[in-house]
Chain A
Amino acid sequence: MYLDGSPITDTSAPDVPLEKRWDERKFRAKLVNPANRRKHRVIVVGTGLAGGSAGATLAEQGYHVVQFCFQDSPRRAHSVAAQGGINAAKNYRNDGDSVYRLFYDTVKGGDFRSRESNVYRLAQISGQIIDQAVAQGVPFAREYGGLLDTRSFGGVQVQRTFYARGQTGQQLLIGAYQALSRQIDAGTVELHARTEMLDLIVVDGRARGIVARDLITGEITTHLADAVVLATGGYGNVFYLSTNAMGSNATAIWRAHKRGAYFANPCFTQIHPTCIPRSGEHQSKLTLMSESLRNDGRIWVPKRQGDTRPPGEIPEHERDYYLERLYPSFGNLVPRDIASRAAKNQCDAGYGVGPGGFGVYLDFADAIKRLGRPAIEARYGNLFDMYQRITAEDPYQVPMRIYPAIHYTMGGLWVDYDLQSTIPGLFVIGEANFSDHGANRLGASALMQGLADGYFVLPPTLNDYLGGTRLEPVDSGNVQVKAVETEVRQRIERLLTIKGKRSVDSFHRELGLLMWDYCGMSRNREGLSKALERVPELRAEFWRDVRIPGGAGELNQELEKANRVADFLELAELMLIDALEREESCGGHFREEHQTPEGEARRDDEHFSYVAVWEYGDQPVLHREELTFEHVHPTQRSYT
């Protein structure tokens, strides 16, 4: 199934004490003379928090940035949908927060499967992100004294989360988008909207460009540069139903993987506990309700199995507030993986509510009684409205129903401390890389990573690469460039000539269901093996029987989807292999064979304290990056 490869290490983090590493790295990084920067072209793919902030910053430094997004405007990248907030170790509340505590919480919350050096840097930079965003005019929530308000989030006992109602991602993204817009107007960023990267160009072992398709005209274009930055987000849509935007896809990172970039921890998927349950077969995507709701909402199910009474008719003593019962010190604020699994366990045991029993109650009655409706409206108004719109139920009157769903992928392309992949000149930032979140992530940490990477980490490390590398000129006539372009064209032609019977969506739905059933919140050897038989069959069927109407030289949304689903069908197999190989439970990943007598995840640090780093081949090759914990010593995570 796979081959064992040589170990891999991150050699870019300087060998100095943890708290000095980033300063030391920046000091040692080579600089590029400001007058020389405009001679360098840098490609940035994606315009979310990571890509938008990177493009704006690099352009501001003087580089010529060529930026891509498949949406019609950079402002629509899916970071816009993040709701709850962004963490920062500002200690504005004087509740004992510090860089070290944010670092500690994040390593622990990642269930000891992330790198200490990366996470420490993230905590160090966190405060600067808030400063930057405020300077850009991001309207964070404020107190009456005019200072910034904060709240707490799952898995954490201090109030370090900065927020803008339930639209924090939107506001931070618009901040980055506006900074990028300023550079577009200045001519330092060349924007290609509605243009999708379809392959990576590697010349003499270095990333030198991309092949892209103009989604309006269908034209295949080649773009060359001195470095390529992928900021293309996560691959949660491999599950079909997820909280990701419909267009979110894995194509850029998967093609880069096939060109030599290693893929790390593909099976690490985060399940979010507070999504609106699906209402039927027609469902196209799932909608998240911010985790911040758990600050004031109480989660419960009826004590009696199959109780179909309306929630208002179930008296207090017949309700099981199971999170408060099982995890008294964190209660409803346990981390996402714990809350998700607990909800699924309740439903599996027959206590679920709503259609099919796939839901638990998230109840605000107590909070409304305690704080009054206006206070709840101010905190969560837009979330309540959204819930009502989707379900036609009023959450001020009846409890919300929630169920876990696929939300964020912690796996991604492997990068070193410099955020560089195993292909020199290919940098990967934000959700597209694997580096900071381990097997799980705490709430409000994804926005932090995207912006840290784009605004603060990538600029100096990219400088170092460009300042320290002699790059030969490459032109579009280069044999290696032509070869990639030809492959892209042939693949599109091949897709269009199949003219089979099944729609792209039908393949995507089937794949998604397989992955959710066998590689979702809980997995076992039997299920994973079963899926490993079916996925290659499904892939063969796709290439034999998919039906794509229309042509290549026009706006063709079915063709766009087919290109993406073809890649999901390959990536899914690697996810299954990775899940099968990891004989332990940790974070969002639960192997049924590995649990404590109480049903909690059982990690195996002796055998699995590593990042699984996969090299592409006929058979994938597994390289292991050992993780060392000098500061936060691995312990069984306990939230009781």
Chain B
Amino acid sequence: MKLTVRIWRQSGPEAEGRLVSYPVEDVSPDMSFLEMLDGLNQELIANGDEPVAFDHDCREGICGSCGVVINGRAHGPERTTSCQLHMRSFADGDVIDVEPWRAKGFPIVKDLVVDRSALDRIVQAGGYITAPTGSAPDAHATPVPKPDADLAFDNATCIGCGACVAACPNGSAMLFTAAKVTHLSLLPQGQPERAQRVLDMVDTMDAEGFGGCTNTGECVASCPKGIPFASIATLNREFLKASRSGR
């Protein structure tokens, strides 16, 4: 396939950015989207230009490093990560726009690379269960009903890629935070810190500059791991309950 990709180039956080158009040839439908970018970069290097910087690592859809807006959609037209999007999703001659995640909470570092450390700080605020090493009771001591365990798992599969934030018109981190809160509040182990956890995580989310949630649902539509929309309702309920209990 022959394609034209228009890529956001920005040399640094303060620099001005712009879309630059590049022709790419010999694209195989079996290539992943990032392999197509690899190919372009090899050409740029050969021509003495600077390659496009983008985040990636595992290239199997699980580490959450990669993520670009492709033709206006986070991770592109399919519901998957950019590294697992394949060129068979495009047609010969297509013009493809590639941009970084755009959100106040994610400052641009260079080209397609953004700083997502705000998500880590939300977790640091309370997204854990306090369990000191080496003193845990036997794993069978606390049974967990299978439906709870399964739903906890569904929420725990969040890879922290930030697509939900990038897709949200408000740049909100609600779905990410909701996944964490839902996962931990469903488990018996997570109960003692349940109220404080949600209050602290929501506070941090706001302080990091993420916008509010208006139930648009774009986050769910773009989530490569299928985190359920209902989790946002859970987060709201947990937050209200915790606020009322005065903790």
Contact = CB atoms under 8 A, between A and B. Distances in A.
A60 B57 contact: no
B184 interface: yes
B30 A179 contact: no
A299 B60 CA distance: 23
Interface stretch (A266-274, A277-285, A525-533): A277-285
A135 B65 contact: no
Which one of B65, B128, B139 has the highest number of Cβ atoms from chain A below 10 Å of its Cβ? B139
Contact of B140 (A92, A178, A503): A92
B206 interface: no
Nearest to A138: B156
B113 to A, nearest CB: 7
Nearest to A283: B35
B138 A131 contact: yes
Interface in B115-146: 115-117, 119-120, 123-125, 127-134, 136-140, 142-146
B59 interface: yes
Interface in B10-68: 11-12, 28, 30-32, 34-35, 38-39, 42, 44-46, 48-51, 53, 55-65
Interface in A392-408: 392
Which one of A74, A165, A174 has the highest number of Cβ atoms from chain B below 10 Å of its Cβ? A174
Contacts of B116: 72-73
B42 to A, nearest CB: 6
A27 interface: no
Given A56-B133, A147-B140, A193-B117, A389 B62 contact: no
Nearest to B114: A72
Interface in B144-159: 144-146, 149-150, 152-153, 156-157, 159
A612 to B, nearest CB: 31
Contacts of B61: 386, 389
Given A136-B128, A136-B131, A555 B65 contact: no
Contacts of A71: 57, 63, 65
Contact of B86 (A132, A185, A390): A390
Nearest to B161: A76
A282 B31 contact: yes
A143 interface: yes
Contact of A549 (B48, B55, B62): B48
A167 interface: yes
A132 B136 contact: yes
A167 B157 contact: yes
A555 B35 CA distance: 20
Contact of A81 (B62, B128, B142, B144): B62
A489 B58 CA distance: 29
Interface in A425-468: 455-456, 459
Contact of B84 (A60, A74, A179, A390): A390
Interface in A140-173: 140-148, 164-165, 167, 170-171
B84 A386 contact: yes
B128 A72 contact: no
B96 interface: no
B129 A558 contact: no
Nearest to B30: A279
Nearest to B189: A137
A245 interface: yes
Nearest to B158: A174
B128 A179 contact: yes
B136 A131 contact: yes
A603 interface: no
B110 interface: yes
A555 B153 contact: no
B237 interface: no
Contacts of A456: 133-134
For chain B, the bracket of interface size reads 35 or more
A245 B84 contact: no
Say whether chain B's binding surface is mostly helix, strand, loop, or mixed.
Answer: loop
Contacts of B28: 279-280, 282
B35 A245 contact: no
B58 A81 contact: yes
Contact of A73 (B117, B128, B144, B145): B117
A597 to B, nearest CB: 40
Contacts of B51: 549, 557-558
A547 interface: yes
B42 A503 contact: yes
A78 interface: yes
B2 interface: no
B124 A181 contact: yes
Given A146-B145, A178-B128, A282-B28, A164 B123 contact: no
Given A178-B127, A389-B86, A456-B134, A137 B183 contact: yes
A287 interface: yes
B109 A455 contact: no
A24 B53 CA distance: 52
Contacts of B187: 137, 139
A372 to B, nearest CB: 18
A7 interface: no
B80 interface: yes
B217 interface: no
A505 to B, nearest CB: 6
B63 A148 contact: no
B46 to A, nearest CB: 7
Interface of A: 53, 56-57, 60, 71-76, 78, 80-81, 90, 92, 128, 130-137, 139-148, 164-165, 167, 170-171, 174, 177-179, 181-182, 184-185, 193, 216, 245-247, 279-280, 282-285, 287-288, 386, 389-390, 392, 455-456, 459, 503, 505-506, 547, 549-550, 554-555, 557-558
28 contacts: A53-B133, A72-B115, A73-B160, A80-B64, A128-B136, A131-B137, A133-B139, A135-B189, A137-B183, A146-B145, A147-B140, A170-B62, A170-B157, A179-B133, A181-B124, A193-B117, A246-B58, A279-B30, A280-B30, A285-B59, A287-B59, A287-B60, A386-B60, A456-B134, A549-B44, A549-B45, A557-B51, A558-B45
